[in-house]
């Protein structure tokens, strides 16, 4: 057990924990943030994606020790931003949401991409989403959603 502190969705949190624990379990079990999902548990599917210092990471492969002093944003935290509204409207408009299990991760991946590259090409969008598996959509309408968000969010990123 060790004392740990990091910023979670804009607020500093401090608690005692085993530093080997997966960030995903800490978020879901200790903070009841169930937006990040466990799809594979080994960093392949991206359903557990969160932002760490504004870069996408798979929280299932992130031990708590790596989070000390960092800023973590989950979908719950990101959902209160203007950028989220633009991305969410784009996903709704194109039809990028089906079962929804991959969706929080897809939205985090979209934010991570647009934050670095506000005007991605289709190829760059596909690379940006390639760490997030979706079995429902075939990605076509998700790629369209990211294009739409980039267009409508002009100036936000």
Partner 1 sequence: MIFLKDISTPINKVDNDEKMSGKAKYVADIKMEGMLYAFTVRSSIVKGRIVSITYPKIPDGYFVVDHRDILGKNIVKVIYEDMPVFTKNEITYLYEPISLLVGPDKEVLSTLVNQIEIIYEEEEPVFDWVDSVIHYHFEKGKGFEVFSDKEIIEYTYETSYQEQAYIEPQGFIGYPEKDGKVTLVGSIQCPYYVKNAVIQALGVRDDQVRVIQAMVGGAFGGKEEFPSLLACQLAVAVQKIKKPIKIIYEREEDMLVTTKRHPSRITLKAAIENKKIIALSANAGIDAGANIGLSGVVLARALLASTGAYTIDNIAVSGDVFKTNTVPNGAFRGFGAPQMFFAIEMFIEHVAKKIGVDSLDFRRSILAKQNDLTSTKGIFRDPILMPEMIDKALEVSDYLRKKDEYSKSKDFKGIGLSLFFHGCGFTGSGEKNVIKAKVRLKKELDQVYILIAAVDMGQGVKTSFRKLVAHILDIDIEQVIFNNPDTDFVPDSGPTVASRTMMIVGGIVARAAKEVKERWNEASFVVEKQYEQPEYIEYDEATFTGDAYPAYSWGVNIVEVEVDKLSYQVHIKKSWSVYDVGKAIDERIVIGQADGGLAQGLGYGYLEVMNHKNGKILQKNMTDYIIPTAMDMCPMETYLFDNPYAYGPYGAKGVGELSLIGGAPAVAKAIENAINKNVYKIPVTPEYIMELMNDGEN
Angle at CA of residue 131, ends 127 and 132, nearest 5°: 110
Give residues in contact with partner 1 (CB under 8 A). Answer: 28, 32-42, 44-45, 47, 74-76, 79, 88, 91-92, 95, 97-104, 107, 122, 125-127, 129-130, 132-143
CB-based burial label for 12 (10 Å; 0-12, 13-18, 19+): exposed
Nearer to partner 1, 16 or 69 (CB): 16
**What are the tokens at 72?**
């973590």
Q: Tally the C-alpha atoms within 13 A of residue 58's C-alpha that lie toward its C-beta.
A: 18
- Strand boundaries in the chain, DSSP class E: 2-8, 11-17, 49-52, 55-58, 71-73
Straight-line distance from the first to the last Cα atom of the chain, in angstroms, rounded to the nearest whole number: 39
Question: What minimum distance in Å lies between the beta carbon of 130 and partner 1?
Answer: 5
């Amino acid at each position: 057990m060790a004392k740990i502190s990091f910023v979670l969705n804009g607020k500093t949190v401090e608690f005692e924990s085993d530093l080997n624990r997966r960030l995903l379990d800490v978020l879901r079990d200790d903070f009841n943030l169930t937006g990040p999902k466990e799809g594979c548990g080994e960093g392949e599917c991206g359903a557990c994606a969160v932002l760490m210092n504004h870069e996408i990471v798979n929280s299932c492969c992130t031990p708590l020790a790596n989070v000390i002093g960092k800023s973590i944003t989950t979908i719950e935290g990101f959902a209160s931003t203007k950028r989220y509204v633009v991305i969410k409207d784009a996903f709704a408009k194109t039809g990028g949401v089906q079962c929804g299990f991959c969706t929080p991760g897809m939205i985090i991946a979209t934010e991570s991409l647009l934050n670095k590259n506000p005007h991605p090409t289709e190829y760059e969008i596909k690379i940006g989403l390639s760490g997030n598996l979706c079995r429902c959509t075939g990605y076509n309408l998700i790629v369209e959603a990211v294009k739409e968000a980039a267009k409508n969010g002009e100036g936000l990123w």
